[in-house]
Amino acid sequence: MPWLDPRRWKLWSLPPVVLTYVVTIAVLAALVTLATARLTPVEVRHWVWFAALTAAALIHLEAARGIERIREISSEGVPHAQMQSVWQFAGVLVLPMPLVVLMVVTIYLHAWLRVYKRRAVLYRKLFSAATVVLGCAAAQWVLHMFSASTPSELDGPRGLIALVIAGFLYWFVNYALVVGAIIMTNPANPLKTALGHASDVLIVTASVGLGSGIAIIATARPWLSPILLLTVLALHMGLLLPQFRVAARTDSKTGLVDATFWHDVAEREIARARRLVSTVGVLILDLDHFKQINDTYGHLAGDRVLRAVADTLKHAVRSYDLVGRFGGEEFAVLLPGVGSGEVRATAERIRFDIARLEVEVVDRLGETRVITGLTGSVGAAVFPDTALELSPLLLAADEALYQAKNNGRDRVATAAAR
């Protein structure tokens, strides 16, 4: 596993100024953690609150994995607002700083393992966690300045002012540090892009408000806390699911993403791979003799075959690979972070799985039939070996597909390197 070997970390490929910045933020977060370790004694009740808040955060992450994965792809190169701030800000109000740090690290580690499937660059997630730790420390410092050690002490106008300032610093420290990293990493991008979407501020504001309510309920009426978990999940789905549905436009016959969205994601993945000196594989698959299925069994049977092939493709690749339908009987697969050998192995696995399919359909006469003997031809190409941009990469994969068809179908052809 490359991420276990420090010598192979992508961190060292950063420009010196960016590397210095990232390491400095991480060191500052570590120093703040050490400096605050003895300021507040950790009591049994703190461990109970820590366990409850962390468990709620992980349940929240699991329930919203699909949405967060698409949002993370879509927000490449801009600050990414996470609703995990609900639990993190609640932790700021009820936990001593060392337990806040432990909770933040646990949340980000779980997200890296489960949401992003270790595909996201580890140092980026650690950097994000460090910025959140510093934001939490700034928020707690404000609360201590107002002599508010528990949420119950945040009462009256003074308490409201303390909470507003703490919430602002929690957001602003994290936001400013992340924007700084984005600007240094992508100096050619417009400043407006680095600043992100104004609507994300609303997400963080809502999260801080909910976190405050959760902290008060957790300390005053702990048995009512599960209701707030359901509330957060419902708001998350209600706020982001429509956004997810619009972005992840699907093909009605197969349930796969359509060509437009596939192209958008592929462009972002190639841009990411270019920055990180990584690779992206592309497969284009075409079902052989599909017209004969429509002519023999009818178009409804053909649609059933397309759906079965789509399901097969999704199960043959990793959870974070992207499968789309390009139209007719043609499909495309996006494989981030793989080389030519892995791309070909994936294509062969797909071809083998399609050949094993047995699809039960109803023909044009209303009789049940089982279609077997399906085959597919696959063209493969890899960024940057084959091409440096998406369009020529797709053209190369498409040319390889026609080569596979011309050589007898039911086979894989790989585009030549530049």
With H, G, I as helix, E, B as strand and everything else as coil, classify residue 331: strand
Position 209 pLDDT exceeds 60: yes
Give the confidence band of 406 by pLDDT, cuts at 50, 70, 90.
very high
Q: In this structure, are residues 377 and 405 in contact, taking their beta carbons and an 8 Å threshold?
A: yes
pLDDT, one tens digit per residue, over 74-116 is: 555 556 667 788 889 888 988 989 999 999 999 988 887 876 6
- 417, 319, 67, 383 alpha-carbon torsion, rounded to 10°: -10
Residue 321 has pLDDT above 80, yes or no: yes
Higher pLDDT, 67 or 48: 48
DSSP string of 122-148, one letter each residue: HHHHHHHHHHHHHHHHHHHHHHHHTT-
Residue 170 has pLDDT above 80, yes or no: yes
Range with lowest mean pLDDT among 167-176, 241-250, 303-312, 406-415 = 241-250
Nearest partner of 85 among 209, 179, 190, 186, judged by Cα: 209
Give pLDDT tens digits for 287-298: 999 989 988 988
Residue 190, pLDDT > 60, answer no
Cα 328 off chain centre by: 29
d(CA 43, CA 49): 10
CB 359 within 8 A of CB 371: yes
CA of residue 26 relative to chain centroid, distance: 22
Q: pLDDT for 240-273, tens place per residue?
A: 555 555 445 677 788 888 888 899 889 989 998 8
Of the candidates 337, 295, 305, the one whose C-alpha atom is nearest the C-alpha of residue 318 is: 337
Check residues 319 and 347 and name the one with the higher pLDDT: 347
More confident residue, 151 or 179: 179
Q: Tokens in use for 385?
A: 């070996």
